[in-house]
Every structure is written in C-alpha cells, then in structure tokens.
Amino acid sequence: MKSRVETLTPPNTPKPIGPYNHIAKVGQHISIGGTAGFDPATGQLAGADVGAQTRQILKSFAVMLEAVGSDLNHVLHIYIFLQHMSDFEAMNAAYVEMMGDHRPARTVIAVKELPKSGVLLTMNLTAVTREG
C-alpha cells in the first residue's frame, strides 16, 4: 500500500504567506509548517507582544490538528524560531499556559528576522493522530 501525502490549510486558520499549505499528513504522521501569531478572524497579529503571539500560534495549531484528527496532546516536537532571545521567558509562560502538562520535545532557535513585520516568533511542529 502506497502512502499518500495529504496537504491542507483548514478554514479559521491564518492564510499562508507563500505557496504552501500549513499541514502535511501521511498516515498517522502530521507536520505543520511555520506559523505566526496572526488572528485568522482579523488577519492581524494577535498582539504586539510575544505572549499574545505565542498563544495565538498554539490556538491555530489546535484548530489545525483538530482538522486532521489530532490535538496538542499528540504533539511530538515543536520548533520555535524566536526573533529576540530576551523574549524567551515570556514565550515560555504563554507556552505553558496553552500546553498544560504536555511537554513534547522542543527546540528554540534565535533568528535574525522573520518574513512579516511585527512577527516576534514562528513555530512549526510534528504530531501524530489520536489513533496513533
């Protein structure tokens, strides 16, 4: 049986800024590409601070994961690209607020710049479906 990669960007999630979909899924494996803290209802950043942007990214991830039969408790690894390492503690506080007791593997990398003005961080992740 051949594996087929499905790609999609669910409604009620931020629109990609390039030629890609947010989600790629094959079997039980899910990958979500770089996502910034844009509120899908307004198309604007959820806030000018790293905490608001972190919470919005994780809210968007929850919607995206639900669309492919998963949730934040099934995340294996989150990659965080943080523009200012001085925002690390504030990002962590919002991250813990949203992730609860689930502590997947995580990588935080400082980056020089991000594609959209005002964006303080982006995240991507790998996860599995609930039945995985």
Query: What CATH topology corresponds to 6-128?
Result: 60s Ribosomal Protein L30; Chain: A; (3.30.1330)
Q: Residue 18: its pLDDT value, please?
A: 87
More confident residue, 115 or 63: 63
Answer yes or no: is pLDDT of 15 > 90: no
Contact 68, 41 (CB under 8 A): no
Q: Residue 3: its pLDDT value, please?
A: 80
Compute the half-sphere exposure of residue 93: CA atoms within 13 Å on the CB side of its CA: 7
User: What digits encode the pLDDT tens for the residues 68-88?
Assistant: 999 999 999 999 999 999 999
Answer yes or no: is pLDDT of 1 > 60: no
The Cα–Cα gap between 130 and 36 comes to 25
Answer yes or no: is pLDDT of 35 > 60: yes
Q: Where are the domains of the chain?
A: 6-128
Confidence of residue 2 (pLDDT cuts 50, 70, 90): low
User: What digits encode the pLDDT tens for the residues 37-47?
Assistant: 999 999 999 99
Q: Is the dihedral of CA 67, 95, 119, 105 positive or negative?
A: negative
